[in-house]
């Protein structure tokens, strides 16, 4: 029995778990498929996960992706500015009079909203960029990680959370993956 890997689905493998006889393949849409525990099946699943990760890294490091993100930030910040300004003016109009001091305070608050929005979006993008860099680093150096995954030196200076592979890469930070790669290079240079 060989895995068809979400045949008929257009989904990304989230992870897999191995029990005594089966490999449980979990997808991002929540469904799970089970295949017989054979080395061939496990390799096929790992290769599919690597292929999917490569595709995502390629998409998220493209120039179009960065341009789209930049445009989205501008749109969201502009929209939040307009919404905050409209809300402030609506209060003034509803009250029937314009208190210029209060209007000035509300204008300043209206200007702060897009700044806060921008900061939140940039922080989220920074975290997303680190995840992409982690996967890119892993994919580019896959053979080094694969050949050294069960060697203790690889995990020197980090908290080991299981053998490093595409299945449990999410357990590690970019810094930890980078440290592991440095450990591999240190070992191969000696």
- Considering only residues 99 and 134, tell me which one the structure prediction assigns the higher pLDDT: 134
What are 40-60's pLDDT values in tens digits?
999 999 999 999 999 989 988
**Rounded mean pLDDT, 74-91:** 76
Contact yes or no for 104/141 (Cβ under 8 A):
no
Q: Taking the domains of the chain in order of start, what are their residue ranges?
A: 13-53, 63-137, 141-189
Cα–Cα distance, 23 to 147 (Å, whole number): 22
- Interhelix angle 100-140/39-60, nearest 10 degrees: 140
What are 125-175's pLDDT values in tens digits?
888 889 999 999 999 999 988 888 777 778 888 888 878 889 989 999 999
**Rounded mean pLDDT, 60-87:** 79
> Which pLDDT band, with edges at 50, 70 and 90, does 94 fall under?
low
Please give the structure tokens belonging to residue 124.
Answer: 């989220």
Contact yes or no for 91/106 (Cβ under 8 A):
yes
For tokens 């790669």, name the residue: 181
**Cα–chain-centroid distance for residue 177?**
15
> Of the ranges 7-16, 66-75, 86-95, 129-138, which is most confident?
129-138
pLDDT of residue 16: 94
User: Exposure pattern of 94-122 as b/e (b: 16+ CB <10 Å)?
Assistant: eeeeeeeeeeeebeeebeebbeebeeeee
Helix (H), strand (E) counts: the chain: 5, 3
pLDDT of residue 2: 45
- Mean pLDDT lowest for which of 9-13, 15-19, 74-78, 156-160? 9-13
Please give the structure tokens belonging to residue 51.
Answer: 């292929």
pLDDT value at 5 more than 60: no
pLDDT of residue 93: 65
Model-wide pTM > 0.85: no
- List C-alpha distances in Å: 72 to 58, 89, 114, 123, 129: 20, 26, 13, 14, 16
Nearest to 181 by CA among 159, 155, 163: 155
Backbone angles phi, psi at 23, to 5 degrees: -110, 125
- List C-alpha distances in Å: 17 to 24, 32, 34: 5, 10, 10
pLDDT value at 7 more than 50: yes
């Amino acid at each position: 029995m060989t895995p068809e890997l979400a045949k008929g689905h257009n989904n990304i493998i989230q992870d897999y778990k191995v029990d005594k006889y089966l490999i449980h393949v979990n997808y991002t849409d929540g469904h799970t498929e089970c295949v017989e525990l054979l080395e061939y099946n496990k390799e096929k699943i790992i290769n599919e996960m690597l292929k999917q990760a490569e595709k995502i890294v390629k998409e998220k490091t493209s120039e179009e992706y960065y341009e789209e993100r930049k445009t989205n930030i501008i749109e969201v910040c502009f929209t939040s500015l307009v919404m905050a300004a409209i809300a402030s003016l609506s209060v003034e109009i509803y009250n029937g009079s314009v208190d210029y001091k209060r209007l000035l305070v509300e204008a300043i608050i209206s200007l702060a909203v897009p700044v806060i929005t921008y900061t939140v979006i940039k922080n989220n993008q920074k975290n997303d960029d680190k995840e992409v860099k982690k996967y890119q680093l892993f994919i580019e150096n896959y053979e080094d990680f694969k050949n050294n995954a069960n060697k203790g030196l690889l995990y020197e200076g980090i908290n080991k959370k299981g053998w490093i592979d595409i299945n449990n890469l999410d357990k590690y930070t970019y810094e930890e993956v980078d440290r592991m790669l440095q450990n591999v290079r240190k070992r191969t240079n000696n």
